[in-house]
Every structure is written in structure tokens, then in C-alpha cells.
């Protein structure tokens, strides 16, 4: 299938070369449209020998976010991709934070754009005291080819959606923003952004497999959008966010004491964001 500009052959070849510098056997595919890049790679996860794969879609008809939320994308409006690879870390806790940190540092290495991370999986822009959502992360796994050396080996799919243009939508949560609005670029180029993202994402996941999230706690703190903020949890509790622990759990000081919140349990939102205007 031919793909729409700016995803010409040269752009795809440059992306493939970049990914294979970190993962020599990786495959790279770019398609015009698909139901969901995550769903497609999860369908392939039943194969024991499927190679690491990057799947990019210019448009998704059934994209998915965390907790079953829909993530729709139109050609040129967003960057939507999924990266699948086999992994066997000792502890999976904190993987979404490690991925988010890699993306934030890749897109904003010097911190000039004030990109922040809202636990557990949102890439955000902080501007004029307001937090707006630039992108999201969805991680799914299934058991892969186990062996005596790696009994917990799984096929891990990391799905990422980044707004290139600011969506004009009304939805609960943070107001959205596009990369073009953040940087002032009239027409941000998906291939360039993705090449930067993958150059950071692949080694970050390889490092996570060996060392887990603990070595990243201090770096995450520099991008933590919730630290020191009053937050409300979806189960009704509220308190002050105090950063994350070595396993990536959010620490919240509540009236009942210090609580460790895990992403599988609840979603978190800054109280100030509940009434934020939508673009």
C-alpha cells in the first residue's frame, strides 16, 4: 500500500535505518489507515518468533487509549504508532513512566517546551499555569515464547498517540494541544518526530528490561506534572501528589495517610484541571 505524504520512501528508509541502529532485526511498516496499531500488533503477538516491529498509521478508525477510551486520528492531524517487542523484565511496574520519560526527553531535550508527564501515561504541555494533553501511551502485553531462562517473557506493545494539530474536541479531562501549537510550527512533520521518538524509546525499553524503573525516579521528578499538586482519584480519595516511588507508584498524602497508587487501580487528575476549558 502506498502511503500519503510526507511518508515517502526516503522517510521510511531513514526511519528504518534509525530503528535498526538499536534493534537490528526490527521491521518498520507505515500504512495509510488501520483500525488500531496496538490491536494489529497484539494480533501478531501469538507468533513466537515475530520480530520487533514498528507499525505507523496515518489514520486510525478504532484507536484505543487507557481504560477503554477512544483515540481517533485523521491523516496529518496526529502521529500514531505502536512498537512491539518481546521483553522479560524482573518487574513490569513503571514501564509506562519510562516510556513517557523517553518521549518527553526526545521531543524536548532541553526543556524549552515545558513538556511534562502526568502519571501514569499522559504527555502534557505546561503553559501559563495550565496543563494540556499532547499525547498518550497505551501498553499491552501477552505471554510470548517462554523459556527456562526467561519464563516471564511477554510480547509487549507500546502504543503512542501525539497530536500534531490541536484537536477541536470536547472530552473529559485535560484540554488537548498539538505539537504545532506548542512549538509554533505551521506543519510539524511526523517522520521527523517519530525518528526522534524511536531513537529514545527503543534503548529506553531495553534499559528498562535490565534495570527497571528505579534508576529513572529522579529524571521523572524533573518532568512530573503532578508533584505538589492537589489531586483527586477516581475512587473518591484526594490528597497531595508527592512524586513516584521506585516501582512507579504515585505517592499521595491523603487524610488517611500516605497512599501508594497503582495505575491499574485508579486514574488521577489535578483538581485544577477538572474545570479546564476545552479547545
Mean pLDDT of all residues in the chain?
87
pLDDT at site 272: 57
Range of the domain at 76: 9-212
Would you say residue 240 lies in a domain?
A: no
Would you say residue 116 lies in a domain?
A: yes
Q: What is the dihedral of CA 61, 190, 92, 87, to 10 degrees?
A: 90
pLDDT at site 168: 82
Any idea what the CATH number is for the domain that residue 16 is in?
3.30.930.10
Would you say residue 231 lies in a domain?
A: no
Q: How confident is the model at residue 153 (pLDDT cuts 50, 70, 90)?
A: confident
Q: What is the pTM of this model?
A: 0.89
Would you say residue 136 lies in a domain?
A: yes
Instruction: Please say if the pLDDT value at position 67 is more than 50.
Output: no
pLDDT digits (tens, 9 = 90+) for 3-42: 556 888 999 999 999 999 999 999 999 999 899 999 999 9
Q: How confident is the model at residue 48 (pLDDT cuts 50, 70, 90)?
A: low
> Distance between CA atoms of 37 and 160, rounded to whole angstroms?
9
Q: How many domains does the chain have?
A: 1
279 vs 250, more confident: 250
Exposure b/e, 135-149, CB count within 10 A at least 16 = b: bbbbbbbeebeeeee
Would you say residue 74 lies in a domain?
A: yes
Amino acid at each position: 500500500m502506498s502511503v500519503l505524504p510526507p511518508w515517502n520512501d526516503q522517510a521510511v528508509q531513514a526511519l528504518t535505518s534509525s530503528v535498526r541502529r538499536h534493534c537490528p532485526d526490527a521491521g518498520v511498516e507505515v500504512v495509510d489507515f488501520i483500525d488500531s496499531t496496538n490491536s494489529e500488533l497484539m494480533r501478531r503477538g501469538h507468533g513466537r518468533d515475530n520480530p520487533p516491529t514498528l507499525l505507523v498509521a496515518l489514520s486510525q478508525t478504532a484507536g484505543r487509549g487507557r481504560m477503554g477510551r477512544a483515540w481517533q486520528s485523521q491523516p496529518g492531524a496526529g502521529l500514531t504508532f505502536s512498537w512491539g517487542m518481546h521483553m522479560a523484565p524482573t518487574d513490569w511496574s513503571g514501564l509506562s513512566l519510562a516510556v513517557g520519560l523517553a518521549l518527553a526527553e526526545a521531543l524536548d531535550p532541553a526543556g524549552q517546551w515545558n513538556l511534562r508527564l502526568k502519571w501514569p501515561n499522559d504527555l502534557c504541555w505546561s503553559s501559563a499555569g495550565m496543563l494540556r494533553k499532547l499525547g498518550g501511551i497505551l501498553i499491552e502485553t501477552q505471554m510470548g515464547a517462554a523459556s527456562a531462562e526467561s519464563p516471564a517473557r511477554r510480547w509487549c506493545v507500546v502504543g503512542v498517540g501525539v497530536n500534531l494539530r490541536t484537536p477541536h474536541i470536547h472530552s473529559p479531562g485535560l484540554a488537548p494541544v498539538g505539537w504545532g501549537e506548542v512549538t509554533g510550527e505551521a506543519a510539524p512533520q511526523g517522520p521527523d518526530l517519530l525518528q526522534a521518538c524511536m531513537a529514545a524509546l527503543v534503548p529506553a525499553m531495553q534499559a528498562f528490561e535490565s534495570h527497571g524503573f528505579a534508576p529513572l525516579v529522579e529524571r521523572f521528578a524533573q518532568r512530573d506534572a503532578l508533584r505538589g499538586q492537589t489531586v483527586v482519584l477516581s475512587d473518591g480519595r484526594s490528597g497531595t501528589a508527592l512524586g513516584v516511588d521506585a516501582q512507579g507508584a504515585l505517592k499521595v498524602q491523603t487524610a488517611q495517610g500516605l497512599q501508594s497508587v497503582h495505575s491499574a487501580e485508579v486514574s488521577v487528575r489535578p483538581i485544577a484541571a477538572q474545570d479546564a476549558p476545552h479547545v
